[in-house]
C-alpha cells in the first residue's frame, strides 16, 4: 500500500518553548505518518493556526509571555478552531483545580512530563483518526450533494418523459375502451356469470386486506414503548432500576412483535380467515399493565388523566395475554384520540357473576346513537374530520371486536350522544382452565445447572455468535458452525450434549445434519433443537422425523434456551465424557487432538477416552489455538501435516503462551520418526513425539512421561 500524500495527511501542531521537548514530541509522533508542525510560543502557534487546519494541538502549559491556558483560550474563541482538540503537557504537579481550568478552556486531556511515548502516541492517534473520519465525511457529503443534484435533474427529465408516455397511453386506452364497449354489447349473456365471479373475488380480496390491515395495526403498536425505552436508555444518569425496567419492557414488546410476525408469515391463516390464540393463565393486573404501557404515549401526548380501578384480590384469566392487552390498548388509544386534550379516561375491571368485565370510559366527543352499532365495522370513523386530524385507518375497534369474540366474549359501545363521552365494555368468560404451563426450571435455576458442551449452527453469523456469547456467559463450552458439514465435524469431535441447529444451512441442510448426528456414536441421547424461521405444522413434523427433540421458531427467547439446556441429558459416557483416569471419580485429564483426518481423529479419540482421558478433537490449527485458549487442556496432540497451519506452527504459537508445566505438546506423525524430525519437533516446542500407529500403552506412556 502506498504512503498517503501530503494532502491526505493530518496536521498536528506541537507548541513548546523548549526545543528539546519539541524534538521529543516529533520523535514520538513521527511514526503516525502525519504532518508535524512546530511552534515555540503561543503567538507563533496562533499564526500557524490562521494558515492551516489542525487535527490536534499538543500545548505546553508553562510558556513565557503567553502560557498554555491563554493560548488555548484564544484558540477556542475563534469559531474556526473552537472544536480543535488540545492536549496539555506539563512538568508540574497537576491539581484538580488545574485540570478544571484546562478543561474549561477546551483541553481534552493532560500529559505529564516526562512523556510516556506510547500513551501520547495513542491519544494523538485517536484524535487524528477522528479528524480524518470527520474530513472524509465532509468530502462524502459534498459528493452526495452533487449526486443528489444530478439525480434531481435526471428525475425531472424522467418525469417529463413519463408524462408524454402516459398521455400516449391514455389515447391508446381511450381507443381500446371504445372497442371494448362495442364488444361488451355482444357479451351480455356472460355478464351474470362474470358478475358472480367478481363478487366472490372481491370478497376473498377484502378478507385478505382486512387481515393484513389488522396485522399492520398490531405491529405498529409495540413500537411506542420500545422507542420510549430506547430514549430512556440513551439518557445519561439513568438509574439501574430504570434501566432494568426499560430492558424488561423492551423484552416484552419484542416478544409481542415476534408473535405477530409469526402470523404474518403464516399465510394459510388468510385463506382460513382466522387468527390463532395462544392462551395462558395470566392475571388481570398484568393485562391492564401491558395495555397501559402500549397506550401511555398516546394518553400522555394529549395530557389526559388515566384512572384505573381493579379488584383488590388477584383475578386470573385463561386468555391470550398479548391479544387481550391489544384489545384494551386499542380502546385506550381510541379514548385518547376522541377526547379533547386534558380529558379523563377511566379503565376498570371486575368480576360479575361468571364473567370478567373490563370498561374503558372517556370524557370525549361521544358517539351518535345511530353509530353505536356501526363503530365496530371495518374503516368506519365516528367523526371523519376529527379522525383526519388524529390519523388512523378505522380498524382498531374492528380488531378489538374480533379478538374478543375469539375469546368467547362480547364488546359493546355506550354513549349518551355527542359531547357526553363514550364507554366500551368487554365481557369475557371467567375461566383459567386448560392453560399452558411453563418449563419447570426458571432462568436462574438453569444458570446453576450442570455446564454442557454445546454446538450452535446457523448461517447467520451474528445470530450464531450472539447465541454462543449468551451461553458462554452461563459457563457452557460452545462451538459455532455456519454450514452443515462443519457442524458434523464439530459434533463428531466435541460430542456435545446440546445442539442448536438451523434448518436452512448451506452445504447440508439441518434435517440431514440431524439424521447424521443421531447416527454418530454417543449422540443418540443428545438434545437436538431446531431453531428456524419456519413454523408451520409440516415444518415441525419434518423436524421430528429428522430426529430433533424440539422445534423453535425465531426469534427465540434466550430464557427458553437456558431452560432447555438445564434439562438436557446429563454429561455421561454415552454423551462422550470419559471416566476419571484414576478410577476414583476425580476429573479426567484433558487432551486436545488436532488432525485434519476425521477417521484418525475418531480412532485416536476413542482410544484415549477408553484410557480415561477427556478428549476434544478439532480439524485444523486455527481451531486448535482458539480451543486451547478457552478449554486449557493438559495435553495437545498435533499432527504435523495439516493444511493452512501445520503442526509445527501450532506448537510454536501454543508454546509462546503456555509452558510445558501448564500444557504438554506432543507431535503426531504418520512418517518415520527419525532424529531430524525429532529435532525439528523439539525446536518448535513439542515435548514428545508419537507414531500414529502406536498402540494404546505407548500413547498413555507418552502422555505420562
If DSSP states are collapsed to H, E and C, what string results for 31-47? HHCCEEEEECCHHHHHH
Kindly tell me if the per-residue pLDDT of 162 is higher than 70.
yes
Sheet strand arrangement including 422-429:
305-309, 344-352, 355-362, 422-429, 410-414
Average pLDDT for 12-25: 90
DSSP string of 593-662, one letter each residue: EE-S-HHHHHHHHHHHHHTT-EEEEESSHHHHHHHHHHH--SEEEEES--SSS-HHHHHHHHHTTS-TTT
Write down the pLDDT at residue 440.
37
Percent of the chain with pLDDT over 70: 84
Beta bridge partners of 529: 500, 550
Helix axes 396-406, 191-220, angle to 10 degrees: 90
Q: Is 348 helix (H, G, I), strand (E, B) or coil?
A: strand
Average pLDDT for 620-632: 83
Write down the pLDDT at residue 384.
47
Res. 275 pLDDT band, cuts 50 70 90: low
How does DSSP classify residue 79? G
Residues 665/594, Cβ–Cβ less than 8 Å: no
Burial of 346 (0-12, 13-18, 19+ CB in 10 A): middle
Beta bridge partners of 355: 352, 429
Q: Tell me: the pLDDT tens digits for 443-483?
A: 334 334 468 899 999 998 888 888 898 899 888 999 999 99
How does DSSP classify residue 345? E
Q: Tell me: the pLDDT tens digits for 333-351?
A: 889 988 999 999 999 998 8
Average pLDDT for 163-174: 88
Average pLDDT for 299-317: 87
Kindly tell me if the per-residue pLDDT of 578 is higher than 70.
no
Instruction: Name which of 607, 628, 598 is nearest 486 in CA terms.
Output: 598
By mean pLDDT, which of 19-33, 146-160, 205-219, 341-355 is the weakest?
205-219
**Residue-range domains of the chain with CATH:** 7-136 (3.40.50.2300), 280-429 (3.30.565.10), 443-517+524-552 (3.40.50.2300), 590-704 (3.40.50.2300)
Kindly tell me if the per-residue pLDDT of 66 is higher than 50.
yes
Write down the pLDDT at residue 263.
43
Average pLDDT for 664-677: 84
Kindly tell me if the per-residue pLDDT of 517 is higher than 90.
yes
What distance in Å separates the CA atoms of residue 171 and residue 165, rounded to the nearest whole number? 10
Highest mean pLDDT among 34-43, 196-205, 229-238: 34-43
Kindly tell me if the per-residue pLDDT of 256 is higher than 70.
no
Burial of 478 (0-12, 13-18, 19+ CB in 10 A): buried
Write down the pLDDT at residue 328.
92
435 against 510, higher pLDDT: 510
Res. 272 pLDDT band, cuts 50 70 90: very low
Res. 487 pLDDT band, cuts 50 70 90: very high
Residues 647/640, Cβ–Cβ less than 8 Å: yes
Write down the pLDDT at residue 318.
84
DSSP string of 244-266, one letter each residue: HHHHHHHHHHHHHHHHHHHHHH-
Kindly tell me if the per-residue pLDDT of 290 is higher than 80.
yes
Average pLDDT for 18-36: 90
Kindly tell me if the per-residue pLDDT of 581 is higher than 60.
no
Q: Tell me: the pLDDT tens digits for 315-333?
A: 888 888 888 988 898 899 8
37 φψ region: left (φ > 0), alpha (ψ -120 to 50), beta (else): beta
What distance in Å separates the CA atoms of residue 600 and residue 637, rounded to the nearest whole number? 12
- Asked if the peptide bond before residue 114 counts as cis, ω within 30 degrees of 0, the response is yes
Average pLDDT for 587-594: 86
Instruction: Name which of 50, 59, 63 is nearest 12 in CA terms.
Output: 59
Question: Which value, in Å, is the radius of gyration of the alpha carbons in the chain?
Answer: 36
Helices (H) and strands (E) in the chain, counts: 24, 22
Res. 705 pLDDT band, cuts 50 70 90: low
Average pLDDT for 404-410: 87
Q: Is 664 helix (H, G, I), strand (E, B) or coil?
A: strand
- Asked if the peptide bond before residue 555 counts as cis, ω within 30 degrees of 0, the response is yes
Kindly tell me if the per-residue pLDDT of 500 is higher than 70.
yes
What distance in Å separates the CA atoms of residue 668 and residue 595, rounded to the nearest whole number? 9
Write down the pLDDT at residue 15.
92
What is the residue-averaged pLDDT of the chain? 80
Amino acid at each position: 500500500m502506498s504512503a498517503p500524500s501530503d494532502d491526505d495527511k493530518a496536521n498536528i501542531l506541537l507548541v513548546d518553548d523548549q526545543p528539546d521537548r519539541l524534538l521529543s514530541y516529533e520523535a514520538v509522533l513521527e511514526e503516525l505518518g502525519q504532518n508535524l508542525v512546530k511552534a515555540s510560543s503561543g503567538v507563533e502557534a496562533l499564526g500557524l493556526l490562521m494558515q492551516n487546519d489542525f487535527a490536534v494541538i499538543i500545548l505546553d502549559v508553562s510558556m513565557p509571555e503567553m502560557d498554555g491556558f491563554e493560548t488555548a483560550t484564544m484558540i477556542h474563541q475563534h469559531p474556526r478552531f473552537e472544536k480543535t482538540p488540545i492536549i496539555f503537557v506539563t512538568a508540574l504537579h497537576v491539581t484538580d483545580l488545574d485540570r478544571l481550568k484546562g478543561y474549561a478552556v477546551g483541553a481534552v486531556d493532560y500529559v505529564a512530563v516526562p512523556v510516556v511515548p506510547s500513551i501520547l502516541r495513542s491519544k494523538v492517534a485517536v484524535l487524528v483518526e477522528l479528524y480524518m473520519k470527520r474530513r472524509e465525511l465532509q468530502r462524502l457529503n459534498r459528493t452526495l450533494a452533487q449526486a443528489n443534484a444530478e439525480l434531481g435533474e435526471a428525475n425531472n427529465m424522467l418525469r417529463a418523459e413519463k408524462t408524454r408516455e402516459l398521455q400516449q397511453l391514455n389515447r391508446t386506452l381511450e381507443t381500446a375502451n371504445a372497442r371494448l364497449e362495442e364488444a361488451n354489447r355482444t357479451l351480455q349473456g356472460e355478464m351474470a356469470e362474470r358478475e358472480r365471479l367478481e363478487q366472490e373475488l372481491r370478497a376473498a380480496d377484502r378478507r385478505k386486506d382486512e387481515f393484513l390491515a389488522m396485522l399492520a395495526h398490531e405491529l405498529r403498536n409495540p413500537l411506542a414503548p420500545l422507542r420510549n425505552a430506547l430514549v430512556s436508555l440513551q439518557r445519561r444518569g439513568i438509574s439501574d432500576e430504570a434501566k432494568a425496567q426499560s430492558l424488561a419492557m423492551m423484552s416484552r414488546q419484542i416478544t409481542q412483535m415476534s408473535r405477530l410476525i409469526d402470523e404474518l408469515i403464516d399465510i394459510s391463516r388468510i385463506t382460513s380467515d382466522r387468527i390463532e390464540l395462544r392462551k395462558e393463565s395470566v392475571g388481570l393486573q398484568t393485562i391492564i399493565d401491558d395495555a397501559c404501557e402500549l397506550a401511555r404515549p398516546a394518553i400522555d401526548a394529549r395530557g389526559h388523566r388515566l384512572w384505573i380501578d381493579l379488584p383488590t384480590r388477584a383475578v386470573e384469566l385463561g386468555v391470550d395475554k398479548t391479544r387481550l392487552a391489544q384489545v384494551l390498548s386499542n380502546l385506550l388509544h381510541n379514548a385518547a384520540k376522541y377526547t379533547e386534550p386534558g380529558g379523563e379516561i377511566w379503565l376498570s375491571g371486575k368480576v360479575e357473576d361468571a364473567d370478567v368485565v373490563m370498561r374503558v370510559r372517556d370524557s370525549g366527543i361521544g358517539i351518535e346513537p345511530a353509530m353505536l352499532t356501526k363503530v365496530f365495522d371495518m374503516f368506519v370513523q365516528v367523526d371523519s374530520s376529527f379522525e383526519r386530524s388524529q390519523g388512523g385507518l378505522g380498524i382498531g375497534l374492528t380488531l378489538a371486536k374480533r379478538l374478543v369474540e375469539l375469546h368467547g366474549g362480547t364488546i359493546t359501545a355506550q354513549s349518551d350522544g355527542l359531547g357526553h363521552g363514550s364507554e366500551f365494555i368487554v365481557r369475557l368468560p371467567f375461566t383459567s382452565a386448560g392453560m399452558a404451563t411453563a418449563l419447570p426450571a426458571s432462568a436462574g435455576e438453569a444458570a446453576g445447572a450442570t455446564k454442557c458442551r454445546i454446538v450452535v449452527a446457523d448461517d447467520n453469523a451474528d445470530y450464531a455468535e450472539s447465541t454462543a456469547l449468551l451461553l458462554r456467559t452461563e459457563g457452557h463450552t460452545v462451538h459455532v458452525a455456519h454450514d452443515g458439514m462443519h457442524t458434523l465435524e464439530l459434533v463428531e469431535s466435541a460430542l456435545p450434549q446440546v445442539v442448536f441447529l438451523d434448518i436452512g444451512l448451506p452445504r447440508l441442510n439441518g434435517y440431514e445434519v440431524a439424521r447424521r448426528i443421531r447416527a454418530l456414536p454417543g449422540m443418540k441421547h443428545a438434545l437436538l433443537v431446531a431453531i428456524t424461521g419456519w413454523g408451520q405444522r409440516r415444518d415441525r413434523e419434518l423436524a421430528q422425523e429428522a430426529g430433533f427433540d424440539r422445534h423453535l421458531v425465531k426469534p427465540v427467547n434466550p430464557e427458553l434456551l437456558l431452560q432447555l439446556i438445564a434439562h438436557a441429558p446429563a454429561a455421561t459416557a454415552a454423551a462422550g465424557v470419559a471416566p476419571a483416569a484414576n478410577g476414583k471419580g476425580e476429573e479426567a485429564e484433558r487432551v486436545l487432538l488436532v488432525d485434519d483426518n476425521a477417521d484418525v481423529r475418531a480412532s485416536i479419540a476413542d482410544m484415549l477416552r477408553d484410557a480415561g482421558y477427556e478428549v476434544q478433537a478439532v480439524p485444523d490449527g486455527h481451531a486448535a489455538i482458539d480451543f486451547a485458549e478457552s478449554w486449557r487442556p493438559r495435553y495437545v496432540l498435533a499432527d504435523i501435516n495439516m493444511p493452512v497451519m501445520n503442526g509445527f506452527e501450532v506448537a510454536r504459537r501454543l508454546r509462546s503462551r503456555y509452558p510445558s508445566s501448564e500444557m504438554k505438546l506432543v507431535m503426531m506423525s504418520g512418517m518415520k520418526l527419525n532424529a531430524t524430525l525429532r529435532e525439528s519437533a523439539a525446536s518448535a516446542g513439542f515435548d514428545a513425539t508419537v507414531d500414529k500407529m502406536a498402540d494404546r500403552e505407548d500413547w498413555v506412556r507418552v502422555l505420562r512421561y
